[in-house]
Structure 1
């Protein structure tokens, strides 16, 4: 599969190009709409896939997205969102038609280069036929007007409906239920947001607040802009009765937490842990890679439509509030897990969803190190990484039987323990083989080389081999793709328990991202 370098363009260029809309949304989106007829020249329809091995229908080819501007207007009475998504794309081939990912969005109008375009909603695709064929290697603005219901029942959703608004929980494949997009982590883009909300609630999004506007009727518009590119699955947009609490992190890093007003005091002990967490992690992985960080204990503890604890939406990690009300030793390692995702997963995103172990394995690895340094027992009562890895190693063949190799998941078992603790076991084996100094060096080299981009398992193997000065491709591929657990370097006495077929019970999930399999909980 081919992944090209992303096309950069400042998100600020899109701010102001799409105004909030006020037309009443239709109950259901029409399946097709005809605008002007397309003038036919040379070109072909863009492929409606990026060939992801886990989600083959996700993403679209023939173009790359440089920037998104999302203009949301929230109505507290109807609880609907009226929106305009403005995308700046660059074509990689001549296109008579192209598609965006979109599900559950009531599309009203589409314009390409300022001209009305024909569109059709088919399954989870929004097929767009511009008035004229788009030439190869050309830049064009795409504007989609639509409305959305955060409480709408969908096969999977990126919305978290709350009593006073909503939040976004788009990982892995549900950003396109919130806004039309090229919904794949290989196509990162710049983002800006304008959120118009009624009095009594606040709109907050990924990135930094750059403008606040007081509007008629007591409404307020908040504009945010990202400094760094974002994968669609990491976008955060939230509306609710929140207070923003600001504090300073290491080296003057601005920290902002977005907290339910009624629970701000109760959540303060958890929020106050962040500066120390950042300091600890920067000593191991280098400077925090974004413009700000903070927590969003969104205003709900209801587990539906899917159970979640936290998700690493960029610069603003979303949590269920009740989880953060526990004592530090119950939450500290998981808070570290989510912070690690700022590096592995956010700054360096997976090239495909088969590369998820790079995110989750690293997040659990450093989360466990943080836990054991403090002497906090894990969920099995263990207090050292070696003890936990010996226990995990014994289950290695069973997990490979149940959930496939570490770097070969499918859509059903994507978020099972194999991607979490199984990934930790791979990193532990690698560190044992090359030594702690070389391991630490290759980790930083990987993050530096692929910062603000996407990287594959093969990219990680290549960096590990280069930095360690030895060919690690065979070693790591055995660990990542083998059906049998390799021998553990430094521990020839460790044994693997034989597979029990009756224990194979992987379970499916209804969309969403789940961290209950994280060893840091």
Structure 2
């Protein structure tokens, strides 16, 4: 997807009649877990991000051009941006009023934007980006490292390095132009478009054509060993590995094509034209992230982690959330992919993985909340979302049988490809594909507090 050609500002603006003046876009996407995440009143179709970063001073100079469509008549709209200085905002070619309000960049057009019209907003900004601290205490966003930056933005961190409609309900294509000192590499999402060096600095160009949520974008910078090749299925692989992690990472990354092929057989065709890995040396981060088409790892991953983050390319990246409370659709599915991979590659069966978890006492943290609603943003990455989320899928598999179960997974990935899905939609799909009433199963395993007493056995629908 390519950004649209600019159009005349006058064609985008309303007549200014007070009777049809419109209203401001909402300051959030309506997600109770992160009330200020995302914004209302518009949909971003494309981001064009131009970044220049100096790892030594940790200074960023940047310009973001967002191509968007108004979903209501807009007198004002917000972008999510935290901690950086904005030096100018233009709508089309016209400078417009803007102000900061916490993590919100409030933009006021000279005249209301009409519903349905496309517009471009350009934001010039600079500063020293840093991470945001999530409710669970972990850092996310632009995380400086000793040779660059580890950029992993789930769930809030996109706003630490570019102005965004920062909620997974809004997905867009992206272009990245990233300039760093010669000797550093800058890796983003999607297809590598090339690099050129001049005056001691190297500029890297990337293009992510398929829709992507803002939290899945990356612009990781560092000293990396780069490997590029094309799989037999035509997927462009780009691996970037910190030399300090290279020896340990190599045997795992070698399995990436076979992992993607295996997952494609289970879940349907791989969703993207590009794939790969960014293996950084970032000991203070403590996690990996499924950044779209190219997961980032804070150190050399093991095979289970590679399988997990790769599975997210289907579940979480291609099929995205509409609300963070449904995050089990991401993490439960990716965790169950680990169980399936072990089962089919000489490890524990999924049933044994399930049994080991179910053996934990009722007082264990695994049972502290149901995976279908963690209760707040503080808990969306806790054990019940991952492990009990996977247990939901295993109970579903036992209830409907392998043939129907894998048909359900493929149908879910296919029906919602490049879009969004909800828990309610998944339960309806599972019942339709299996021909069974599964309400009790999902009520017990997804939404009931505490440790379930026993597995629910569904009955066939009339």
Relative to the length of structure 1, the TM-score reads: 0.80
Cα deviation digits, residues 83-124 of structure 1 (max 9, x gap)? 011101111111111101111121111112221111121121
13 and 391 in structure 1: CA distance in 2 versus 1, 3 angstrom threshold: same
Query: Partner of 2:327: helix, strand, or coil?
Result: helix
390 and 91 in structure 1: CA distance in 2 versus 1, 3 angstrom threshold: same
Measured in 1, the distance between the counterparts of 2:59 and 2:353 equals: 47
**2:201 equivalent in structure 1:** 219
Shift of 1:263: 4.9
Q: 2:156 aligns with which of 173, 184, 187?
A: 173
Shift of 1:265: 4.8
**1:510 equivalent in structure 2:** none
Cα deviation digits, residues 10-65 of structure 1 (max 9, x gap)? 345489xxxxxxxxxxxxxxxxxxxxxx9674111111122113212211111111
Mapped pair 1:317 → 2:279: no
**2:396 equivalent in structure 1:** 430
Cα deviation digits, residues 273-309 of structure 1 (max 9, x gap)? 21221222122112211111111112x2321xx422x
Higher relative contact order at CA 8 Å, sep ≥6: structure 1 or structure 2? Answer: 1
Query: Partner of 2:167: helix, strand, or coil?
Result: coil
**2:231 equivalent in structure 1:** 249
Where structure 1 has 5 or more consecutive residues not aligned to the other structure, the ranges are 1-9, 16-37, 325-330, 377-382, 492-521
Mapped pair 1:240 → 2:222: yes
**1:487 equivalent in structure 2:** 454
Shift of 1:342: 0.7
Measured in 1, the distance between the counterparts of 2:360 and 2:24 equals: 47
**2:177 equivalent in structure 1:** 194
Q: 1:162 aligns with which of 125, 145, 151?
A: 145
Mapped pair 1:346 → 2:312: no
Matches within 5 A, 1:46-195: 46-151=25-130, 157-195=140-178
Contact 1:85 1:179 in 2 (8 A): yes
**2:369 equivalent in structure 1:** 404
**1:19 equivalent in structure 2:** none
Contact 2:245 2:279 in 1 (8 A): no
Moved more, 400-409 or 180-189: 400-409
293 and 14 in structure 1: CA distance in 2 versus 1, 3 angstrom threshold: farther
Measured in 2, the distance between the counterparts of 1:152 and 1:440 equals: 39
**2:354 equivalent in structure 1:** 389
**1:362 equivalent in structure 2:** 333
Contact 2:55 2:149 in 1 (8 A): no
Query: Partner of 1:354: helix, strand, or coil?
Result: helix
Query: Partner of 1:349: helix, strand, or coil?
Result: coil
RMSD: 2.4
Contact 1:14 1:69 in 2 (8 A): no
Moved more, 97-106 or 38-47: 38-47
Shift of 1:191: 0.7
Shift of 1:157: 4.0
Contact 1:174 1:233 in 2 (8 A): yes
Contact 1:65 1:189 in 2 (8 A): yes
Measured in 2, the distance between the counterparts of 1:79 and 1:95 equals: 36
Measured in 1, the distance between the counterparts of 2:131 and 2:71 equals: 35
238 and 420 in structure 1: CA distance in 2 versus 1, 3 angstrom threshold: same
Where structure 2 has 5 or more consecutive residues not aligned to the other structure, the ranges are 7-14
Shift of 1:312: 0.6
Measured in 1, the distance between the counterparts of 2:83 and 2:153 equals: 14
Shift of 1:229: 0.8
Measured in 2, the distance between the counterparts of 1:45 and 1:419 equals: 35
Q: Which structure: greater strand fraction?
A: 2
446 and 355 in structure 1: CA distance in 2 versus 1, 3 angstrom threshold: same
Contact 1:403 1:416 in 2 (8 A): no
Cα deviation digits, residues 152-182 of structure 1 (max 9, x gap)? 7867540121222113110011111111101
Count of paired positions: 442
**1:508 equivalent in structure 2:** none
Mapped pair 1:332 → 2:308: no
Query: Partner of 2:264: helix, strand, or coil?
Result: helix
Query: Partner of 1:282: helix, strand, or coil?
Result: helix
Shift of 1:470: 3.0
Shift of 1:270: 2.2
Measured in 2, the distance between the counterparts of 1:384 and 1:221 equals: 47
Matches within 5 A, 1:266-285: 267-285=249-267
Relative to the length of structure 2, the TM-score reads: 0.89
